[in-house]
Amino acid sequence: MTSATPRKPHLLHLCWEMHRAGPPMQDLAHGSVFLKRCFVFCLVEQLVDEILKLNEDPKIHGLVLDLPIGALSGRVINSVTPEKDVDGITDVNLGRLIRGDLSECFVPPAASAVLQLLDQAGERFNTVESSSRWITNQQRKRWDVRALKLQPLSPVPSDIEISRAQTPKAIEVLAKEIGLLAGEIESFGRNKAKVKLSLLERLKEHPDGKYVLVAGITPTPLGEGKSTVTVGLVQALGAHLGINSFACVRQPSQGPTFGVKGGAAGGGYAQVIPMEEFNLHLTGDIHAITAANNLLAAAIDARILHEATQSDKALYNRLVPTINGVRQFSPIQLARLKRLRVDKSDPSTLTPGEVSNFVRLDIDPSTITWQRVVDTNDRFLRKITIGQSSTEKGFIREAQFDIAVASEIMAILALTDGLADMNKRLGNIVVANNRKGQPVTAEDLGVSGALAVLMKDAIKPTLMQTLEGTPVFVHAGPFANIAHGNSSVLADKMALKLVGEQGFVVTEAGFGADIGMEKFFNIKCRASGLYPNVVVLVATIRALKMHGGGPNVTAGKPLTKEYTEENLKLVADGCSNLQKQIQIAHLFGMPVIVAINVFKSDTEAEIDLVCQIAKHSGAYDAVSCNHWAAGGRGTVQLAEAVERAANEKSTLSFLYDLKLPIVEKIRTIAQKVYGAKDIELSPEAQSKVDLYVKQGFGDLPICMAKTHLSLSHQPERKGVPTGFILPIRDVRASIGAGFIYPLVGTMSTMPGLPTRPCFYDIDLDSDTEQITGLF
């Protein structure tokens, strides 16, 4: 401190993009003297000249350099005299600084980091305070998002034709429009960007927006359009009502894209674009999961082989080698010693018993639950025998590959709230038991750090946009068959901060509300601490007719006339399922808006009837939606209803206490949600429950693996089945993800390719570089 009275900061803002940095100039000036001028320099020379002049100006106490990275060369930085304080950009430093000594980090609107901190506390405080205020105001206001115009055609073209006809905004443009700083995004080509988690730190004091869950009634095998409603709803909110709004959706598996189902990016005029980038590779998250999953799998079998073929001493010498005369444990080995309650750090001091405990995981191969994965529909890998090469010395065993999205690592990605938490969850993954019945984890195998390294980019949500130019986060997509089937906690959290208090985040729960929504509340909301405001329940006349007693609906077969002609009786009877699903949402204390996803063959009388019944059944509102044919314009009524309902008071109540015994938790879900009379555990299921309790995993939430085609376990029972006993065939655990999953019947974890897979129609035009047939 060279002066007794702290001076006010006299900073000069050297701005590069004035249309961005304009406002803070005035605002930052609070209590300071700022030159309200904007310098824009074409040549580094000019900039340097200007800085040299400013060096001589005693009124200027410091500089905020708000420049594109390319211009912030060493020459520029070095031209500032040491007497001046410099705040400036580089995205490299952002992460460091946010975690640095400026916990209330100074983040000017377009700059991203402080190169040299103000050296006087008073000044720092003022700067930080006024800067924060500016950002807060910024974040509370409505975005200036340029909507992309839609001119829907009739008949509606194929999804890829619609997607291709629209030119998305460059992703940097969208990022800027929604208040992301340049240093917070990592572009992946022109249309996708990963968003850094540091955003959560920057906006942590900001209020969340409104949180909307899109769920569905029990669907037909064709699906009832939850994804299109999700996308259509944000198109309506954002592009038509001018409300800050975000969709958070799942990344689709590539397996089905080339198999039976085709892509998944919404559909018709409610899509995430470009749809081919959404469906293929995206930003590599599923590939990262595959790599991490399979590294762990390879580590398990290799370890079994090495333990079986080596003495304790040989193992120890290899696991803790002497390198350049020094022998030491790696940090992950020290962690294992700690778990073994061996409080030593010098490898030479372990007793033979301790050595043996340390080097032998003693995995019981019959208890291995960790499977390999591929993101391909490869039915021949459902059951395989591995280790048959002579190099594996006869250690053969039966194994399987699952589809990549069924990996527990995908569930972890969806539930984690940050890097530290992800690392912990990855380490906690239980892959097998040892011969004493104790769990063996990824950390025991020494591989959890490597898994985290493989997942370090996948943890950042990917920003894309809808057909109408509103923002979408695509992140995670756990297999709804055996996991919770919801997109990521992190994407929801980031979106809720970005939209601001008056904005909306819309996310989707896989399958019917009895499965996806129940897991959303009991698993995802517990993990995130976020409470939604409204549930949108998607229904189709088609599905309601099926529940009302209509003939079977099968993929690939034409619909019968019950579905193509008006039939009010079937609709009315089928509304039993809708009523039940509304009640389920009410169990959690949520207001429900029924969204009827309208098809061409639906009649006005049918739609009116459903709306009437829905409202009588306690729905806050019921509206028809026409987003598939009309885009956001077709969902404005739904958006308005959602906006109204979000202003109602709602309180989330969980369905069960985690402290309840596992079996009680399962029974609660079966009875209260599915309407079962009771549950029945197989002996295998019961013994697994006992094991998990013994291992200390009794307090985890439950993730039911049940068919989505019925409220019961029998897909053919439509409407609202009653009186059934829900059989629990087996119980498994995803300890890293943090849930127990009871298997109700046999759940496939690897789809197959049909005789004529989708890939027959898919091609790449080598002249135009355009994809054809991806629908």
Task: Pick the closer one to its own copies by CB: 85 or 285.
Answer: 285
Q: Which residue from 121, 153, 165, 173 is in contact with its own copies, where contact means CB under 8 A?
A: 173
Q: Is 599 a catalytic residue?
A: yes
Task: Pick the closer one to its own copies by CB: 427 or 532.
Answer: 427
**Contact window for its own copies (CB under 8 A) among 125-133, 172-180, 488-496, 499-507:** 172-180
Catalytic position from the list 21, 299, 480, 639: 480
Shortest distance in whole angstroms from residue 188 CB to its own copies: 5
List CB contacts of 724: < 8 A, sequence separation 6 or more. 676, 677, 712, 713, 714, 717
Q: Is 226 a catalytic residue?
A: yes
Binders of its own copies among residues 551 to 570 (CB under 8 A) are 556
Binders of its own copies among residues 416 to 445 (CB under 8 A) are 418-420, 422-423
Nearest to 71, CA basis, from 57, 53, 51, 85? 51
Binders of its own copies among residues 466 to 525 (CB under 8 A) are none
Nearest to 85, CA basis, from 135, 110, 39, 122? 122
**By CB under 8 A, residue 332 contacts its own copies:** yes
Contact pattern from residue 220 through residue 259 relative to its own copies, giving x for each residue in contact according to CB under 8 A and a dash for the rest:
----------------------------------x---x-
Which token pair is 427? 């380490």
Contact pattern from residue 349 through residue 388 relative to its own copies, giving x for each residue in contact according to CB under 8 A and a dash for the rest:
-----------------------x-xxxxxxxxxxxxxxx
Q: Is 511 a catalytic residue?
A: yes
**By CB under 8 A, residue 331 contacts its own copies:** yes
Q: Is 628 a catalytic residue?
A: yes
**By CB under 8 A, residue 601 contacts its own copies:** no
Task: Pick the closer one to its own copies by CB: 360 or 586.
Answer: 360
User: Rounded to the nearest 5 degrees, what angle is found at the Cα of 679, between the Cα atoms of 677 and 682?
Assistant: 150
Q: Which residue from 79, 116, 333, 603 is in contact with its own copies, where contact means CB under 8 A?
A: 333
Give the Å distances, CA to CA, from 682 to 668, 710, 742, 743, 765. 18, 21, 11, 10, 54
Task: Pick the closer one to its own copies by CB: 321 or 696.
Answer: 321
**By CB under 8 A, residue 312 contacts its own copies:** no
Ranges of H-type helices in 310-379: 312-319, 331-339, 352-359
In this structure, which amino acid lies at residue 240? H
CA end-to-end span of the chain: 68
Catalytic position from the list 628, 697, 724, 775: 628
List CB contacts of 313: < 8 A, sequence separation 6 or more. 355
Pairing verdict, β 471-474 and 462-466:
antiparallel
Contact pattern from residue 570 through residue 589 relative to its own copies, giving x for each residue in contact according to CB under 8 A and a dash for the rest:
--------------------
**By CB under 8 A, residue 122 contacts its own copies:** no
**By CB under 8 A, residue 707 contacts its own copies:** no
Contact pattern from residue 653 through residue 692 relative to its own copies, giving x for each residue in contact according to CB under 8 A and a dash for the rest:
----------------------------------------
**Contact window for its own copies (CB under 8 A) among 3-11, 36-44, 363-371, 599-607:** 36-44
* DSSP secondary structure letter of residue 560: P
Alpha-carbon span 282 to 464, nearest angstrom: 10
**DSSP E strand stretches across 120-240:** 185-188, 192-195, 210-216
Shortest distance in whole angstroms from residue 257 CB to its own copies: 9
Binders of its own copies among residues 728 to 767 (CB under 8 A) are 752-764, 766-767
**Contact window for its own copies (CB under 8 A) among 181-189, 570-578, 579-587, 615-623:** 181-189
Q: Is 228 a catalytic residue?
A: yes
Residue 271 backbone dihedrals phi, psi, to 5 degrees: -140, 160
Task: Pick the closer one to its own copies by CB: 18 or 102.
Answer: 18
Alpha-carbon span 537 to 622, nearest angstrom: 9
Binders of its own copies among residues 265 to 294 (CB under 8 A) are 276, 280-281, 284, 287-288, 290-291, 294
User: Rounded to the nearest 5 degrees, what angle is found at the Cα of 752, between the Cα atoms of 749 and 753?
Assistant: 155
Q: Which residue from 306, 344, 360, 717 is in contact with its own copies, where contact means CB under 8 A?
A: 306
**By CB under 8 A, residue 91 contacts its own copies:** yes
Alpha-carbon span 470 to 273, nearest angstrom: 10
DSSP for 81-126? -TTSEEEE--HHHHHHHHTSS-SS----SS--B-SS--SSHHHHHH
Shortest distance in whole angstroms from residue 693 CB to its own copies: 31
**Contact window for its own copies (CB under 8 A) among 38-46, 204-212, 546-554, 724-732:** 38-46
Task: Pick the closer one to its own copies by CB: 262 or 510.
Answer: 262
Catalytic position from the list 218, 228, 470, 635: 228
**By CB under 8 A, residue 621 contacts its own copies:** no
In this structure, which amino acid lies at residue 373? V
**Contact window for its own copies (CB under 8 A) among 2-10, 182-190, 207-215, 428-436:** 182-190
**By CB under 8 A, residue 295 contacts its own copies:** yes
Alpha-carbon span 14 to 23, nearest angstrom: 14
Which token pair is 721? 């089945």
Alpha-carbon span 472 to 506, nearest angstrom: 9
Shortest distance in whole angstroms from residue 175 CB to its own copies: 10
The burial of 267, by beta-carbon neighbours within 10 Å (0-12 exposed, 13-18 middle, 19 or more buried), is given as: buried
Is the CA virtual torsion 280, 282, 285, 291 positive or negative? positive
Is the CA virtual torsion 256, 259, 262, 263 positive or negative? positive
Alpha-carbon span 683 to 694, nearest angstrom: 16
**By CB under 8 A, residue 42 contacts its own copies:** yes
**By CB under 8 A, residue 310 contacts its own copies:** yes
Q: Which residue from 31, 157, 449, 727 is in contact with its own copies, where contact means CB under 8 A?
A: 449
Is the CA virtual torsion 196, 200, 203, 207 positive or negative? positive
Q: Which residue from 6, 8, 22, 362 is in contact with its own copies, where contact means CB under 8 A?
A: 22
How many whole angstroms from its chain centre is CA 48? 45
Catalytic position from the list 176, 196, 250, 497: 250
Alpha-carbon span 500 to 205, nearest angstrom: 11
The neighbouring-strand residues paired with 771 are 764
**By CB under 8 A, residue 345 contacts its own copies:** no
Alpha-carbon span 473 to 463, nearest angstrom: 5
Task: Pick the closer one to its own copies by CB: 285 or 602.
Answer: 285
Binders of its own copies among residues 131 to 170 (CB under 8 A) are 146, 167, 170
Catalytic position from the list 39, 125, 395, 599: 599
**By CB under 8 A, residue 338 contacts its own copies:** no
**By CB under 8 A, residue 70 contacts its own copies:** yes
Q: Which residue from 2, 154, 389, 651 is in contact with its own copies, where contact means CB under 8 A?
A: 389
**Contact window for its own copies (CB under 8 A) among 35-43, 51-59, 653-661, 705-713:** 35-43
Nearest to 24, CA basis, from 118, 109, 126? 109
Do 196 and 494 form a contact (C-beta atoms < 8 A)?
no
Shortest distance in whole angstroms from residue 104 CB to its own copies: 18
**By CB under 8 A, residue 103 contacts its own copies:** no
Residue with tokens 């008071």: 649
Alpha-carbon span 651 to 616, nearest angstrom: 22
Alpha-carbon span 700 to 678, nearest angstrom: 21
Catalytic position from the list 176, 196, 210, 226: 226
Shortest distance in whole angstroms from residue 517 CB to its own copies: 31
Catalytic position from the list 8, 20, 140, 261: 261
Catalytic residue annotation: 226, 228, 250, 261, 480, 511, 599, 628
